[in-house]
Structure 1
Amino acid sequence: MFGYVMPRMEDLSQEERERYHAAYCGVCRALGERCGQRCRVALTYDMTFLALLLGSLYEPEERRGCKRCAPHPLKPHEYACSECVDYAADMTVVLVYHKCLDDWNDDRSGWARAYAALLEKSYRAVRERHPRTCAAIEEGLADIGRLEQAAAAAESADEAPPPDAAANRFGALLGEVFVYRDDFWADGLRSLGAKLGKLVYVMDAALDMDDDRASGNYNPLVALDARPQDVREDLELLAADAAAAFEKLPLERDARVLRSVLYAGVWQKYRAKEEKLAKQAKEDKEARRG
């Protein structure tokens, strides 16, 4: 999911941008304090969305400040921390750890293997704090691995798993990450996480088709011989489902920032790809004419 779940900054006011960056810095600070300084390298924008979402729903007490830090030693940065930010930091470690393992398995990336080794101790500590969530993630990733193996072993399309099976499983996995507590809001958060996870999985598959076709890595859209633009309507339906689940939650604080993520931010990479393909098609057409 990395690199998709972030706002479109030009949609936000200066105050909203500062608020978002304070939460982002809060997740970074929590990573260092809870999991060790080396884990701050795992920081992504994506879990900042979860920190703001849970903070808006549960409204925990925030700890705010403005300090220098190792990544920014020259200029103090405002930060906002809370128990929801701490949870987002923990989930950052879990997801990045497994992403590194996945990169090692798929591409034999030495960097990914080395960083997974560095994160392993912190991951085990997080697993002790959140055993249910980590177990759900591990089970979900194992299921996705089995689906990929089944697709690779299938001799025909009829024998292969359904094209959306892995996307559904990843959605269910992310749904469990969104469940902060087993309470009244659990089902709503699980639904939002599942729908957002499926959207991100399919969008990532659409953008990675060329690379996965060349490398042989599993991608359900490659098997369908689809193009990124072929799944635009499907992505719009998935995005609408995620937005509908989001709107069912009674969120007020940071609502504009969160909506910027769901209604615009998640589309940024896909639209950049569309523009690139359109430009390439135009250049090819002009070259043929010339």
Structure 2
Amino acid sequence: MFGIVRPCRHVLCKGLYADWMGHLCGLCLALRDEHGHLSRLVTNYDGLLVSVLTEAQSTAPASRRKAGPCALRGFKGAAVVESAGVRLAASVSLLLAAGKVNDHVADGDGLYARRLVAAGATRLAGRWSSAGTAMAGTLGLDPAPLTTAAGRQALLERAPARSGAAPGLAQLTGPTEDAVAAAFAHTAVLAGKPHNQEALEAAGRGFGRLAHVIDAVEDLADDRARGAYNPLAATGTSLEQARHHCDAAHAGLRAAVDELDLPRPALTRALLVRETGNAISRAFSTAGTPDPGHSPGDPGAPPGQRPPKRDPGGLLSLACAALSCCTCGLYRPAWDEDRESSCSERFDCSGYECCGNCGDCCSCCSCCSGGDGDGGCCCDGCSCGCD
């Protein structure tokens, strides 16, 4: 599971966190039921945003089904979303994962440079692409922007070698923007809200640009150390300039969300506005120039801090990810529980104490993620009278 939107239980009120988990588990189970257990590897946080958007545009909540115990939920059952939006999220996840794997094979990254691994990965990517395309067809989605995104990206990245004219950062993020815009816009079709399509396309482009640039920022130090391609290094974009790009994209994303006709806006605003802002802050807080006190093998470590741990890659990385997935539902750090307890004492979301005019406190406020970091109430520009 990966992505730039990574909410956890201490930044979402209880009801919104349950809805978020319902969409996440619904996506995972939809992949399993229609394409087998191996396809659950493509479950990702950002992909399920299309499921959230589909439900947000509907006057009634999406249907739920009861799911059995799962290690990710601490071996507890749950009510998970079962809808066309979840199937759209599954299709998008499969198509984008297939493109990513093919890109790794083409570049010969790590173990993908070995023939047997490359052959197996290519075959798996082909299965995912076929499954995602077939599912997209049943939903009326044109898969072309998603299936061609990786290929277009590869051509852009190789453009300097062929023509000597390097594309700019805006051009490099184009394929990602187009793919996300197409997926976001199609949620309006599924929800019966065609007047939302233009704003959803704008939101998708903003989110796609954010995802691409944030990924480049997070990988910059490691890519430089390995001599691998990175959009920021290739275009000569500094971290300050990258932050400007992200802030501009976030402003556009927020404006697009404000234009949407959403009967159920709470979770959408929490994820697409607040959590994307958190993702920007998180990425740039760990980025920086090498500190003289660190060894040359640790480029990009923020001054005065330990350098980020390198991704071990290959089978070790896969084993670590599997172990994390199997235990994250069983382990909750004590600080998380303490913070939730402190928050619930100071701000009772069920009583709307911090947002008395709102039907749902969390539609615009976060009771547990105040800007001062002490569990205060942080309102997100709503019109309910909070300040």
Q: Are 2:243 and 1:232 aligned?
A: yes
Alpha-carbon separation, structure 2, partners of 1:268 and 1:102: 28
Q: 1:116 to 1:190 in 2, by over 3 A?
A: farther
Structure 2 residue matching 1:47: 3-state secondary structure: coil
Shift of 1:56: 1.1
Quick one: higher RCO (CA 8 Å, sep 6+), 1 or 2?
A: 1
Q: Are 2:43 and 1:16 aligned?
A: no
Shift of 1:122: 4.2
Q: 1:273 to 1:239 in 2, by over 3 A?
A: closer
Any residues of structure 2 matched to 1:191-206 within 5 Å, and which? 191-206=202-217
Match of 2:223 among 188, 193, 212: 212
Shift of 1:227: 3.8
**What whole-Å deviation, never above 9, does each CA across 1:189-240 have from its counterpart, x for those lacking one?**
2221112101211222222222233334333310344443442222111101
Contact 2:184 2:201 in 1 (8 A): yes
**What whole-Å deviation, never above 9, does each CA across 1:92-150 have from its counterpart, x for those lacking one?**
11111211222222315436864553353343133133255322222333222211111
Q: 1:112 to 1:39 in 2, by over 3 A?
A: farther
Alpha-carbon separation, structure 2, partners of 1:277 and 1:122: 34
Match of 2:145 among 100, 121, 136: 136
Identical-pair percentage: 25
Contact 1:206 1:227 in 2 (8 A): no
Residue equivalent to 2:87? 86
Length-normalised TM-score, structure 2: 0.64
**What whole-Å deviation, never above 9, does each CA across 1:24-51 have from its counterpart, x for those lacking one?**
1111111111222221122111122221
Shift of 1:69: 4.8
- When Rg is computed on C-alpha atoms for both structures, the one with the higher figure is 2
Q: Are 2:161 and 1:152 aligned?
A: yes
Q: 1:24 to 1:115 in 2, by over 3 A?
A: farther
Structure 1 residue matching 2:76: 3-state secondary structure: coil
Contact 2:50 2:184 in 1 (8 A): yes
Q: Are 2:140 and 1:118 aligned?
A: no
- Taking only aligned residues, the RMSD between alpha carbons, in angstroms, comes to 2.9
**What whole-Å deviation, never above 9, does each CA across 1:124-181 have from its counterpart, x for those lacking one?**
13313325532222233322221111123454xxx22233201123201211122323
Q: 1:243 to 1:206 in 2, by over 3 A?
A: same
Match of 1:245 among 256, 268, 277: 256
Q: Which runs of 5+ in 2 are unaligned?
A: 289-300, 307-387
Q: 1:143 to 1:262 in 2, by over 3 A?
A: same
Residue equivalent to 1:176? 182
Q: Which runs of 5+ in 1 are unaligned?
A: 285-290
Alpha-carbon separation, structure 1, partners of 2:111 and 2:167: 27
Shift of 1:264: 3.2
Residue equivalent to 2:272? 262
Shift of 1:61: 4.5
**What whole-Å deviation, never above 9, does each CA across 1:44-85 have from its counterpart, x for those lacking one?**
111222211111114574133242358669432331211111
Higher helix share: 1
Contact 1:100 1:113 in 2 (8 A): no
Residue equivalent to 1:190? 201
Length-normalised TM-score, structure 1: 0.83
Contact 1:103 1:109 in 2 (8 A): no
Alpha-carbon separation, structure 1, partners of 2:122 and 2:171: 27
Structure 2 residue matching 1:271: 3-state secondary structure: helix
